[in-house]
Amino acid sequence: MEIDPDRVEEARRLLASVDPLTYYRAMAGLARADHSSLLQPLEFDPTLPGHDPTVVMVEPEPSGWQTTHMYARAAFREFDDVLARAFSSPEVEHLLTEVYHRVVVDGANVALVTNHGDIVDIALVLAALVLAIGERDRSFGVLGERIDHNAFARHANVMVSRMVASRQTFSVPAIEVLQSMSRVWLSVPQTANRRRAKLDADLVRANNLVMRHELHQRLVGGGQLLAMAASGSQDLSLAANLAQRVRSTWRQFRGVEPDHVGPSLHLQPLYDGTIACMLECRYVLPVAIALGSTNPACVVGGLTRVREPADCHAIMDWIAAAHEERTGISTIYHHHEDPLLVQVRDVLRS
């Protein structure tokens, strides 16, 4: 994923030319009413790295296992019962050992990939994995190798919307909370929400180009765990009473009538940039997550080698199937902008 150095420098100059306060306000405009209530507006502060337009990555500042655990439990009260339990069960013990050896010992890169539910979901999933690996009594292999939370946090990375830099939670800047367990990469999503916020397209491209360049350099060095909610846009939940309006398209897409008893969830297509990140990491750890439902769930898949874009789409198919099996909600991953996805969006807008 090598990028022309001249293009990178041009993008850096463009970002450096922007008024920081104006840029901050534009990114804050990406916040939506349905984003997690945990995230509250944060006043502009030029001393915060995430408020500098030229900064696309913030280094980790780990502050101990207990701090990350405290933040995670405060963000989701069922964290221990749902996420921590999923990553500390005997069934995934060998998986944790494999992730440790791949990332820390062998210097390989692993992408931690989830569906895109609530904006805080990916942070909670990463927290569960980082806490499980850095647990005091955790050892890897028969020789009893160990790694503490702060050491593993320096291998951990999370990619989030730059909008998160304009938010606070627990009266602490949201980026600072993430820094307690990982390095933070700030991207600007290429979504309808970005277009509604009327962000300058050149600035969006510049931010993402510089971010991808610096991320590529980090991945080339190896030994990185990269967490991201893979679908380009947040999952779309279709209530049961709206299923009739997409009945014929659903039948053509799935070959069955829509379920009028319950809702459905639609995972939107992977973007090319996300696919490129997954392929550059080479290994993907898929996780199906459902934290906003009445039946919260976290399903951890096996570490998977990806070689081509079709493999990345297959990962999302697995996530959709695992989500449906665990929650009972009909779940579809859309490989591309198909007629059913278009109609679901139209129904939700109307």
In the chain, where are the structural domains located? 5-349
Q: Which pLDDT score is estimated for 346?
A: 65
Over residues 85-100, the pLDDT tens digits come to: 999 999 999 999 999 9
> Which ranges constitute the DSSP H helices of the chain?
5-16, 20-28, 65-75, 79, 85-88, 93-100, 121-133, 149-153, 174-179, 192-196, 201-220, 247-254, 272-281, 309-327, 339-349
Tell me, what amino acid is at 260? H
Backbone angles phi, psi at 140, to 5 degrees: -125, 120
Chain-centroid distance of CA 217 in Å reads 20
pLDDT value for 117: 79
C-alpha neighbours within 13 Å on the C-beta side of residue 312: 25
The rounded distance, in Å, linking the Cα atoms of 290 and 327 is 8
The residue that leads in pLDDT, 195 or 183, is 183
Contacts of 77 (CB under 8 A, 6+ apart): none
**Tokens 């079709």 correspond to what residue?**
310
pLDDT for 68 = 97
Span 253-266, mean pLDDT? 68
- Residue 131 to residue 142: CA distance in whole angstroms: 21
Contact call for residues 11 and 212 (beta carbons, < 8 A):
no
**How would residue 246 be classed by pLDDT, with cut points 50, 70 and 90?**
low
With a cut of 60, say whether residue 2 has pLDDT above it. Answer: yes
Q: State the Cα–Cα distance between residues 58 and 154, nearest whole angstrom.
A: 12
